[in-house]
Structure 1
Amino acid sequence: MTIGLSTYAYFWQWSDHVPRPLSLIEMLADTARQGVELFQICDYPPLESMSDAELDEVRGEARRLGVRLELGTRGLRPAHLRRYLELAGRLDATLVRSMMRSADSEPTLDEAEGFLREVVPEYAAAGVTIALETYEQVPTPTLVELVERIADPHLGICLDPANVVAALELPEAVVDLTAPHVVNVHVKDFAFTRSPGWVGFQLTGAPLGTGQLDRAHEVRAVRADERDVNEVIEHWLPWQGDAETTCAVEREWTAHNLDYLRSERT
């Protein structure tokens, strides 16, 4: 198992909410500076419009820094997944996280199965795995059924227990249901807090160990070390009022979460 960082760990730092957003190369450099050897470029729109020369620069810098890459996108249409297979080949990535739905595609279970039966053999031939993420728009049993229908080791699940809470699924139950099929984990803690005025609740991120993620249960069920499943740090950090404060807290959460995951291995 390798601990990694995601573009979601730099969500605010590369956003247009800050005066000078970080570039992808700068995120890679910061990842390496923190002693992390894996970076997941996840839901990062500029990636799809990069030229071959720009992609080669990213690959070259990742190699120089000793950082392996994974990719993340949304949707299962074959043309789109083939594009990400091309990107994976260009960037030496061996995993592409995706979601069953995208902004312009909401396939049925049977349609999703057809899409994946068309492209999974191509991913397998290239040595690249597709990881379908757990999230509120698709019931987790449906996602598991889809993976079990295909029954290919190059198709699995990206486990994120925080995402399913919005669908009133219990995170611990989702961990147990998906564990045999997990090939990637998005690690973030989460917590409910009362909304201002005490009307309703907010579900936001939290530093690991301070929220409602049963991390010990996740570790026992997934067995990431034993099964060589990479765990990638993300954040759900609310805006903190200004760019400087928000980015500072984002960096603090990353440092804390890295220490937390590393401490599990000692």
Structure 2
Amino acid sequence: MQRYQHLEAVIFDWAGTVVDFGSFAPTQVLIDVFAEIGITVSMAEARVPMGLAKWDHIQALGRLPGVAERWQARFGRAMNDTDVDRLYQQFMPLQVARVGEYSAPIPGAIDTVNLLRQRGLKIGSCSGYPRVVMDRLLPLAAAAGYAPDHTVATDDLAAGGRPGPWMALDNVIELAVSDVRHCVKVDDTAPGIAEGLRAGMWTVGLSASGNAVGLTAEKWSALSPAHQAEYRAPAEAQLTTAGAHYVVDTIAELPAVLMQIEARLAAGERP
């Protein structure tokens, strides 16, 4: 088995990256929470701030023009931080209760992670989920065959979450990685790509399995190649614009990308 000579670790996002093809767990719960107070939020709107910590996600969602207009019509004023706090308190128990419904590994994820381990890489992870949700998700993922060496939740660190570099860098410390340039951050959202770039890492965006396409694995597989291309193009553009060094459909394509990064490192290139 060929081992990497330069790469030391891969740091994965969770929903839309390793589990939950289409990243439905956060978005559907947010839609339901807003509906409870009489505000309609579309799936497309709920996906716009994806990758942020969930309090920040709710705040950003309330600032979208369409949602802000509906909020103003419903309550006669703009959303404020107290409203965000209240929605977050409603969101959390629902997210904890329902995250298991969307915890299935993305096709190819377990085999890919096992291959990377065999090639000598450490496996880190971080998420826009808070710790209470991660504590629910971690044992479910482990039972399905995925147990990263380290996991950081968005509220674990005093510095905060994405798009800052801190969760990715916490993985560097805990995994005892010697050089951030020997790390690859894999994510399906622009804030997650920004996180990796700000941490000085190589970044790989996942288009088909992630938030921007937003389809189940079954619906994605049922599309013709032409229709897949239509869905893929805006997702690729979003991730490329965010600065991703590479963009592929799913985690199953990652090993080939890592070989390219390894070759670039050997040639003296840096992220």
Please give the TM-score of this superposition, normalised by the length of structure 1: 0.31
| Greater relative CO, 1 or 2 (CA 8 Å, sep 6+) | 2
Looking at secondary structure, tell me which structure has more helix per residue.
Answer: 2
